[in-house]
C-alpha cells in the first residue's frame, strides 16, 4: 500500500522477494513460471484494507472471555498455579484465563527446561488437572494450553500414556526427507518430526488430539510454529516444498479452525448457546490467507530488550504492519521471550522493561504474559509486590475499555480493520505520520497511545501529537484543547484521541476532560495524566473519558444533564464506573455499610462493576432531579448492570448546614439479564430501612 492509495497483492505461494529500497519503484521478483495477483485502489487506507480482506478473508469475532481480563501465562504445575491464583486474588487482578504451556510436562536439556512435545497432559506435573480446570472455570476463568504441528520421540518420558511420534510414524503422516524417512527437524537440543498437513489422514488424527484436550475443559490454546517446513522436504501431495513452506501455516491454521467450528456445531444445550464456552486459538505463523482461518495472532519471540529491530519497539512495529496486511487481531508476549545468558552476552528482562511492555500491551487486543525461555533470568509479574501491583493496575486499564474492544473486534470480523492501527490509516496525507514507526498508534479511531519504549525514560520520547493534518507540539495541542486550564499531558498510558487531532476519518465529538493526580507504582515523582473524551458512534452509546484515579481506572460517561449543587470532592458531576471500595472517599462508615447490605440483598458480589452517580444537595427534593436523568442514561447503557445514586442531604436549615447532621440517601437500580426490567431499592443512612420502589 502506498501513500497515493495504490495497493497490490500477489496470489499463489511461490518464493517472492519485494524490494522496497528504491525511491521511484517497488521491485518484485517471483521465483515461478507465472505471476497472479490484484491491484487495488481506494479513497483511504481503511477502504483498501476492507477490499483486501474481503478477498483473503477475515477472522471471526473472538469470544468475550479472552478479551475480558489478563491471560496469565505461567508454568510450574498444579500447586504453583493455585498459589499464584490466590496471590492474584489479593491484588484484585481481572483474569480471563490461565495459559499453561507446560501442561505436557518439562524435561531438562542442554538448553534448559523444555516442553515434551507430546500433546497430552502430564499428570505428574499437573496432578488433578481436570479438577484444577473445573475450579477455575467455576470462577469464570478459562484454562488455555499449548500445541504445535511437531512431535518429539518420548521413549524416555516416564509417565506418558501415548507416544504420538510413533503413532504418526506408523500412520505415515510425517514429513519425509529425500530418502523417504521421517524428516527429523533440529529444534535446539532435540529433533522432532513434523506432521505432513497435505496428507488426508493428518487432520482427523490431530483433531482427535484437540478433542481430548477440550474434553478436559480446556477452552483455548497456542497453536505454535508452522513456519519451519524444510524447503528440501518431501510431501504427500508431491508439491514444491518451497511453495509448500508458505502454504504450511495456512494449512495449520485451517486444521485448528475447522476443529473449533466442528466442535461448536456438535455442542448442544447450554454449551452450544453459552458464548463463554467458545473456543479460541492463537498463532504466530501465517501467509496471505491466514486471517481467514486463524482466530488470533501473536508476534512470536522478541528479545527481552529495548531494541528497535528485535525488542519492545519491534513489537509495536509488527503490531501495526501486520494490521495493514489483514492481521486485524494481534498482540505480543508481555516482556518479550528470548533471554540470553552467556558469559559475554546477557539479555535479561528487567523490571523496567516488563513494566513498559505491560503498559503498551494494555492497549492491544489481548493482554497476555509469558515467562520467556529463561524464566529465572527474567523479571516476572509475580516477582514482588511492585510487579504484582503494576500488573494489577494495567490489567484493570485493559479491562476498562472492554466495551470499545468488543466493538473493534466486531469491526475486525466485518471489515478486516485492525484493533491497533498506524496513524496513517486515518491520517494518510500527514507527512509526519508517514515517518512514524513505533512512537504512536491508534486503538480503533478513538484512542491515541504514545508508549514509553526507551530505557530510563518517564514519558513518551515523541513530543508532538497529530493535529488535524498538522503536527503541533504536545503542549500547543493541549493548550487549544484545555484553553484556560491547559496542562502538559503525559501519554505513557494512552488517551482518547482529542477532537483537534481528528479529521473526517476520525469521527467523534469531544465534550469533557478530566485530569486527576494518581499514585504511581513505580519509583519517581507523581505524574499527571488525563484523557479527552469522545463519543463512540458505532452503537450509538455515549461514553467519555478513560482516566486513572487512586483506586484504579475510572470511566466517566456523558449523557446525564448536570444539575445544580455542590460536587463531592474528587468527583465530577457525571457518573463513574467502579466498585464498592471506590465509595470510601465520599461515604461515611455507616452509609458504606448500608450500601453493602443493599448490594448483598440483591445478591451482587462486591467485585461487581457498578455505575455510580454521586451528588451533594442541600434539599431533599433535589434527589429526584438527580435520579430521573440518571435512570434514563443507565437504561441506555448496555455494559453497566447496576446503578447506584447517592445524594447528600442536610437535615436542618440550609443556613446552618455546615454543622447540621448529614443523611446519605441511596438508591440502587438493578437490571435484569435481558435489560428490559429493573428493580429499585431505596434507603437512607438515618433509618437504614431498605425499601423496594
Residue positions annotated with a catalytic role = 224, 227, 301
CB–CB of 148/116 below 8 Å? Answer: no
- CB 640 within 8 Å of CB 660: no
Q: Tell me the three state secondary structure of residue 169.
A: helix
Report the SS3 class of residue 291.
Answer: helix
Q: What is the DSSP string of 128-146?
A: THHHHHHHHHHTT-EEEEE
How far apart are the C-alpha atoms of 23 and 20, rounded to whole Å? 8
Helix, strand, coil distribution of the chain in percent, nearest 5: 30, 20, 45
Helix (H, G, I), strand (E, B) or coil at 590: helix
**Is-contact 222 146, C-beta < 8 A?**
yes
Residue 337 has a CB neighbour count (10 Å cut-off) of 20
Q: How far apart are CA 278 and CA 115, in angstroms?
A: 27
CA 671, 513, 408, 550 torsion: positive or negative?
negative
| CA distance linking residue 599 with residue 593, whole number of Å | 10
Rounded-to-integer distance, Cα 381 and Cα 363, Å:
18
Find the helix or strand (DSSP H, E) in which 17 lies. strand 15-19
Backbone phi, then psi, for 525, in 5-degree steps? -70, 160
Cβ atoms of 501 and 476 closer than 8 Å: no
How many whole angstroms separate alpha carbon 231 and alpha carbon 365? 34
Q: Which three cell numbers stand for residue 312?
A: 519492545
Which residues in 485-536 belong to E strands, given as ranges? 495-496, 513-517, 528-532
Hey, how many other C-beta atoms are within 10 angstroms of the C-beta on 647?
A: 24
| Under 8 Å between Cβ of 542 and 629 | no
Amino acid at each position: 500500500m502506498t501513500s497515493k492509495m495504490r495497493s497490490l497483492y500477489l496470489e499463489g505461494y511461490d518464493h517472492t522477494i519485494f524490494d522496497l529500497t528504491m525511491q521511484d519503484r517497488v521491485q518484485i521478483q517471483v521465483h515461478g513460471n507465472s505471476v497472479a495477483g490484484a491491484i487495488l485502489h481506494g479513497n483511504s487506507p481503511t477502504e483498501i484494507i476492507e477490499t483486501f480482506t474481503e478477498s483473503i478473508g477475515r477472522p471471526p469475532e473472538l469470544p468475550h472471555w479472552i478479551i475480558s481480563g489478563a491471560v496469565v501465562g505461567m508454568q510450574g504445575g498444579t500447586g504453583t498455579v493455585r498459589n499464584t491464583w490466590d496471590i492474584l486474588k489479593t491484588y484484585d487482578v481481572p483474569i480471563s484465563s490461565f495459559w499453561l504451556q507446560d501442561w505436557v510436562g518439562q524435561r531438562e536439556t542442554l538448553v534448559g527446561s523444555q516442553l515434551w512435545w507430546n500433546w497430552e497432559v502430564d499428570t505428574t506435573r499437573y496432578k488433578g488437572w481436570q479438577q484444577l480446570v473445573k475450579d477455575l472455570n467455576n470462577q469464570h476463568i478459562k484454562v488455555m494450553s499449548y500445541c504445535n504441528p511437531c512431535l518429539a520421540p518420548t521413549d524416555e518420558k516416564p509417565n506418558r500414556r501415548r507416544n504420538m511420534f510413533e503413532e504418526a510414524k506408523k500412520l505415515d503422516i510425517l514429513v519425509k526427507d529425500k530418502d523417504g524417512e521421517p524428516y527429523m527437524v533440529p529444534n535446539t537440543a532435540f529433533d522432532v518430526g513434523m506432521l505432513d498437513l497435505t496428507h488426508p489422514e493428518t487432520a482427523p488424527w490431530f483433531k482427535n488430539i484437540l478433542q481430548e484436550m477440550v474434553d478436559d475443559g480446556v477452552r483455548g490454546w497456542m497453536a505454535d510454529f508452522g513456519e519451519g517446513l524444510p524447503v528440501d522436504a518431501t510431501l504427500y501431495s508431491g508439491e514444491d516444498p518451497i511453495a509448500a513452506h508458505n502454504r504450511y501455516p495456512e494449512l495449520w491454521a485451517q486444521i485448528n479452525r475447522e476443529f473449533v467450528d466442528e466442535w461448536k456445531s456438535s455442542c448442544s444445550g447450554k454449551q452450544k448457546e453459552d458464548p463463554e464456552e467458545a473456543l479460541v486459538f492463537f498463532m504466530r505463523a501465517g501467509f496471505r490467507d491466514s486471517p481467514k482461518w486463524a482466530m488470533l495472532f501473536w508476534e512470536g519471540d522478541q528479545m527481552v530488550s529495548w531494541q528497535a529491530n528485535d525488542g519492545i519497539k519491534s513489537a509495536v512495529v509488527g503490531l501495526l504492519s501486520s494490521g495493514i496486511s489483514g492481521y486485524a487481531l494481534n498482540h505480543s508476549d508481555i516482556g518479550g521471550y528470548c533471554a540470553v545468558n552467556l558469559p559475554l552476552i546477557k539479555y535479561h528482562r528487567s523490571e523496567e522493561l516488563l513494566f513498559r511492555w505491560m503498559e503498551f500491551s494494555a492497549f492491544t487486543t489481548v493482554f497476555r504474559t509469558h515467562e520467556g525461555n529463561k524464566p529465572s533470568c527474567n523479571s516476572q509479574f509475580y516477582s514482588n509486590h511492585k510487579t504484582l501491583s503494576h500488573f494489577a493496575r494495567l490489567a484493570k486499564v485493559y479491562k476498562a475499555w472492554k466495551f470499545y474492544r468488543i466493538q473493534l473486534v466486531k469491526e475486525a470480523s466485518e471489515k478486516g480493520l485492525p484493533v491497533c492501527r498506524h496513524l496513517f490509516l486515518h491520517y494518510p496525507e500527514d507527512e509526519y505520520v508517514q515517518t512514524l514507526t513505533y512512537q504512536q498508534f491508534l486503538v480503533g479511531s478513538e484512542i491515541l497511545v504514545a508508549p514509553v519504549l526507551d530505557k530510563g525514560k518517564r514519558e513518551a520520547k515523541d513530543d508532538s501529537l497529530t493535529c488535524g493534518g498538522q503536527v503541533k507540539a504536545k503542549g500547543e495541542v493541549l493548550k487549544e484543547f484545555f484553553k484556560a486550564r491547559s496542562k502538559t499531558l503525559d501519554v505513557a498510558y494512552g488517551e482518547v484521541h482529542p477532537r483537534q487531532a481528528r479529521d473526517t476519518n476520525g469521527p467523534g465529538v469531544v465534550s469533557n476532560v478530566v485530569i486527576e493526580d494518581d499514585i504511581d507504582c513505580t519509583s519517581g515523582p507523581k505524574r499527571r495524566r488525563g484523557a479527552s473524551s469522545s463519543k463512540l458512534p458505532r452503537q450509538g452509546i455515549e461514553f467519555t473519558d478513560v482516566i486513572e484515579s487512586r483506586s484504579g481506572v475510572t470511566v466517566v460517561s456523558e449523557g446525564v444533564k448536570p444539575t445544580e449543587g455542590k460536587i463531592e470532592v474528587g468527583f465530577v458531576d457525571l457518573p463513574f464506573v467502579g466498585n464498592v471500595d471506590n465509595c470510601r472517599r465520599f461515604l461515611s462508615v455507616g452509609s458504606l455499610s448500608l450500601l453493602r447490605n443493599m448490594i448483598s440483598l440483591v445478591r451482587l458480589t462486591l467485585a461487581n462493576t457498578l455505575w455510580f452517580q454521586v451528588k451533594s444537595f442541600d434539599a431533599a427534593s433535589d434527589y429526584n432531579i438527580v435520579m430521573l436523568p440518571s435512570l434514563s442514561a443507565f437504561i441506555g447503557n448496555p455494559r453497566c448492570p447496576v446503578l447506584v445514586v447517592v445524594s447528600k442531604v442536610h437535615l436542618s436549615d440550609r443556613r446552618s448546614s455546615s454543622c447540621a447532621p448529614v443523611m446519605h440517601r441511596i438508591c440502587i437500580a438493578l437490571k435484569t439479564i435481558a435489560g428490559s426490567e429493573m428493580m429499585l431499592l431505596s434507603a437512607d443512612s438515618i433509618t437504614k430501612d431498605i425499601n423496594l420502589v
